[in-house]
Structure 1
Amino acid sequence: MGYSSNGNDSILKGFAWLLLGIIVSIFLVPLFLPESFCIASIDYAIYVGGLAGPLAALVGFIYVYLTFLGQQRQLDEQRERLDKEDASKEFAEYLNLWNEFRAEVIYTWDQNSGSKAFDSYWKNVRKAVRGDSKKDLGFDLNRPDEFRNSLRNHLTKSAFNKNSGQYEDFIRMIYPLLEIAERGKLDNKLKYLENLLSDGEKAILVYSATFLDQKDFGIKLFKSGFCKSISNEYLISKEHRNLIF
């Protein structure tokens, strides 16, 4: 976008200089004409006023327009900088809340807490969904429409969520972080968040956003590489890597 604007500015400036050259040429014409072609002063004045005047006005308009564009660009840059600062502050606030929530999470099945609780929870969900696919009248793991119901069932009906809503709280708190980072173009914050998430948390996030909730901002980030570092053993099917990323 910036390259295009600068290119347009250069074209306009070049055109303005061309017009200035034409105006100067109009004034210099009598100096290069033979005496037999000399123009009466009154006629020449009318000629200059009729031709050079509008061209000079056009040059003035071009420079006023370029000045306006420059001021508008400065305002846009200032607005973008302020928006990014606001987004960064909002991201930090949500991240603190998420860290507080995460520290208190407990998976009663094995008494793991924090990120380890999410890892254990996801491994059991993954195992249960894969088990459903192998039953009679099971489904193809690589067809999202066929395994979505099983995935949703095990994510929400597990004691990890059913008794305390920990899965739903996780999703409700992690989505705003992605939205804020994507909206504010906080690439460094996204990288920090990606490094902060365990593989189990990444799996819960990418499967929920991609297959269950179909969150556009999440899908866009995954396609650009966010959470792509997740290991295959945390994917329900290795083929899902191509579907998600």
Structure 2
Amino acid sequence: MKKVDQFTDQEKVLKSVSWILIGLVISIFLVPLYLPERFCYASLDYAVFVGGLAGPLASLVGFIYVYLTFLGQQRQLDEQRERLDRDEASKEFSEYLNLWNEFRSKVFYNWDKQTGSKAFDSFWGNVKGSVQSNSATEKFDIDDPKAFLHSLKHHLTKSSFNKGSGQYEDFIRMIYPLLEIAERGKLDNKLKYLENLLSDGEKAILVYSATFLDQKDFGIKLFKSGFFKSIPDDYLISLGHRNLIF
């Protein structure tokens, strides 16, 4: 989009310049009609004058329009390339989403026998509560990312939900590509769909993992732009984390 805007700005400037030059050429031809007779050149001298001044200006106008044609073709190629990239990204997103849905349907949390998205919600509830408890017993500042990071990582990775079955790690490994593809292909509608599809627990797991554990730039960029901002306060480990994340 930025490149298209740049082309548009160039075209506007060049068109303005070309109209100014055309005006000058026309003025050169019209000068004899408005000058007093004593200031007029002999016809041969004036023809040389017009040829020497108006000719190069007219050539410059022609060059500008040739260049404008080139810019138009370049813009069309860029738009076509972006459209193809978007179509490819959309197809890739759908393929990953199908894999994600298949994986999600088989997730099981043996702590309370929950499955699917409910299993992720239950798992995150335990992780959040455990980190909060650690903060109270170990006396660390829960609003300091460096302080709660160890506790967060421990409970995300060492829980029975992940240990052995690797369900948390599989979730992260499969959800990150969806975000990357959607951002790369500018698939805002796909991001909105994904945001509506994920449960609040799944959102919280993704937000905390991408922001604090893995520090994924594409994820942080999306969160700062408002992605997942609708996550309820009671799914945050601390209310102060909303400002850190979003």
Structure-2-length-normalised TM-score: 0.95
CA shift at 1:41, angstroms? Answer: 2.8
1:100-123 Cα shifts (integer Å, max 9, x gaps): 000011111111110111111111
Q: State the partner residue of 2:33.
A: 31
1:178-199 Cα shifts (integer Å, max 9, x gaps): 0011111111111111111111
CA separation in 2, counterparts of 1:216 and 1:188?
21
CA shift at 1:7, angstroms? Answer: 4.0
CA shift at 1:15, angstroms? Answer: 1.7
Q: State the partner residue of 2:215.
A: 214
Q: Does 1:160 align with 2:157?
A: no
What RMSD in Å do the two structures reach over aligned CA positions?
1.4
CA separation in 2, counterparts of 1:33 and 1:113?
92
- Percent same amino acid among aligned pairs? 73
Q: State the partner residue of 1:175.
A: 176
Task: Write the letter of the residue equivalent to 2:73.
Answer: Q
CA shift at 1:50, angstroms? Answer: 1.3
Alignment: residue pair count: 244
CA separation in 2, counterparts of 1:163 and 1:130?
25
Give 3-state SS (helix, strand or coil) of 1:140's partner: coil
CA separation in 1, counterparts of 2:34 and 2:201?
84
CA shift at 1:205, angstroms? Answer: 0.2
Q: Does 1:237 align with 2:212?
A: no
Give 3-state SS (helix, strand or coil) of 1:162's partner: coil
Q: State the partner residue of 2:65.
A: 63
CA separation in 1, counterparts of 2:96 and 2:9?
40
Task: Write the letter of the residue equivalent to 2:238.
Answer: S
| Residue 85 of structure 2, aligned match among 83, 86, 98 | 83
Task: Write the letter of the residue equivalent to 1:148.
Answer: L
Q: State the partner residue of 1:123.
A: 125
CA shift at 1:40, angstroms? Answer: 2.4
